Every structure is written in C-alpha cells, then in structure tokens.
C-alpha cells in the first residue's frame, strides 16, 4: 500500500510537470532554436515567462504554481512576490491555492519606499511567519537575495523559493543559481519543471524529439546535477 501511494505521487508529479512544459510550448513561452543567453552561451531553448500575458494563461500558470507548492510538502504561512514579475505570480498562486482549499495571505515589494499613505516598501499582508517566495526563474539570483533580506529584516522567515523552470545550468562557478541560493541561505528551491523534466518530455513526444539531441548536448556542456534542492 505504501508503495502504491509513493508511486501514485511520483506519477502525479511527473504528469503536472510535463503538462506544464506542453502548456509553455503551446503559449510560445518555451521555444526551440538558437538563443544567446546573458552569459553569452548559445542555448537550444528559450523560456520567457513574461509571455504568459493573458487572463487564461495566468489562470493556468497559477494552477501549476499551486500544484508545485502543494506537492512539495513545504510548510508556509504566506506568499511573497518580488517586484516586478513576482507580483502577478504571487497573486495568482494565492488565488489558485485558495481554490484548492488553502487560503493564505500574500504581499509584494515596491522598488522604492512610499513616503505617504500607508508608506513602507511592501504592499498587502504584513510579512510574518514562514514566507514562500514566488518568482519566474532564478538567473543571477538577485531578486531572491533581495527578497530574503527584506523578509528577514521584517522579522519573518523565508522558507523556500518556488519558480517556474530550473534550467539546471552552471553560473560562473560550478553551481547553478538555484544551488547557490540553497547553499547560501539553506532554503529549498522548488520548480514546477526542471531541465531534466524537459528532456524527459522531449524524449517521450515524437513531435519534439528533433530538439532532444541539442538540449542534451547543452546540458552536457553547461548543466549541473540536480539534488532536489
């Protein structure tokens, strides 16, 4: 019986991760070709979460975030969205979680402190308890680091980061930006999908297998091992 439930959970995780990848491809958020990264590398795929830019896309994306959060089993009290991309993501995730029966407060930060009205650097619920940070990806990790500092300064506890895609790609050193966040702050980073999930998807879908070799080669050159951080 235990084996059944473990297997069932693994299958459920697998399905929503692959469903997310298909959804991202359909919305042209995930594309294949030749794209230059900020690091100057030529990548065979490109992910731009900013192209989830209509109501239905945001509704579905928010549901995927909620699935990833609930499947992670991480204990949290509220959500935080770093300005600017994290603002709609945290808002949408809060709505999707409420639809799943988990109603939690959320807030987000301003780029500049407001000196009138309610003032301060955050909008929404007060930062308190265990705070889950919601963002699109972690590249240099700057927004996550700033978020962690802001949350701790408010007396709350950053407990995890949830992102859409983990590229599992080395930065300037041997670690990826995701691994660096985990190493520096000791908190887990949960992704709706990872590069490994993308490879598994490509391998199992005949219409996309032509991209498999290039993505594998890129992973072999610049990838890191994912230790489920």
Q: Is 229 a domain residue?
A: no
Q: Is 228 a domain residue?
A: no
- CATH number of 147's domain: 3.40.50.2020
Query: Parallel, antiparallel, or unpaired: how do β-strands 42-47 and 30-36 relate?
Result: antiparallel
- Name the band, by pLDDT with cuts 50, 70 and 90, for residue 119: low
* Percentage of the chain lying above the pLDDT 70 cut: 88
| Domains in the chain, number | 1
CA distance linking residue 79 with residue 77, whole number of Å: 7
Q: Is 76 a domain residue?
A: yes
**Please, what is the average pLDDT of the chain?**
88
Catalytic residues: 114, 116
Q: What is the pLDDT at residue 2?
A: 38
Range of the domain at 174: 2-222
CA distance linking residue 138 with residue 112, whole number of Å: 22
Q: Is 188 a domain residue?
A: yes
117 vs 127, higher pLDDT: 127
CA distance linking residue 145 with residue 151, whole number of Å: 10
Count other Cβ atoms within 10 Å, centred on residue 215: 20
**Range in 38-42, 81-85, 99-103 the model is least confident about:** 38-42
Question: 88 is written with which tokens?
Answer: 């709609």
In sequence order, what are the residues at sequence separation of 6 or more whose Cβ sits closer than 8 angstroms to the Cβ of residue 146? 82
- Tens of pLDDT, residues 181-204: 999 999 999 999 999 999 999 998
């Amino acid at each position: 019986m235990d084996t059944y439930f473990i297997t069932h959970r693994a299958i459920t995780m697998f399905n929503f991760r692959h469903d997310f990848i298909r959804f991202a491809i359909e919305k042209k958020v995930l594309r294949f070709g030749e794209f230059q990264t900020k690091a100057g590398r030529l990548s065979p795929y490109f992910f731009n979460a900013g192209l989830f830019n209509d109501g239905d896309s945001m509704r579905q994306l928010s549901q995927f975030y909620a699935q990833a959060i609930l499947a992670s089993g991480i204990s949290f009290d509220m959500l935080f969205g770093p300005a600017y991309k994290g603002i709609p993501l945290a808002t949408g995730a809060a709505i999707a979680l409420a639809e799943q029966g988990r109603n939690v407060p959320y807030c987000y930060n301003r780029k500049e402190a407001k000196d009138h009205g309610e003032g301060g650097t955050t909008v929404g619920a007060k930062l308190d308890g265990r705070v889950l940070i919601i963002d699109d990806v972690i590249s240099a990790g700057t927004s996550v680091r700033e978020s962690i500092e802001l949350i701790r300064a408010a007396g709350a506890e950053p407990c995890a980061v949830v992102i859409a895609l983990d590229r599992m790609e080395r930065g300037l050193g041997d670690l990826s930006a995701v691994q660096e966040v985990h190493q520096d702050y000791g908190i887990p980073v949960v992704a709706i999908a990872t590069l490994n999930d993308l490879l598994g998807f490509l391998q199992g879908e005949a219409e996309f297998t032509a991209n498999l070799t290039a993505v594998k080669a890129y992973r072999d050159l610049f990838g890191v091992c994912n230790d489920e951080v």
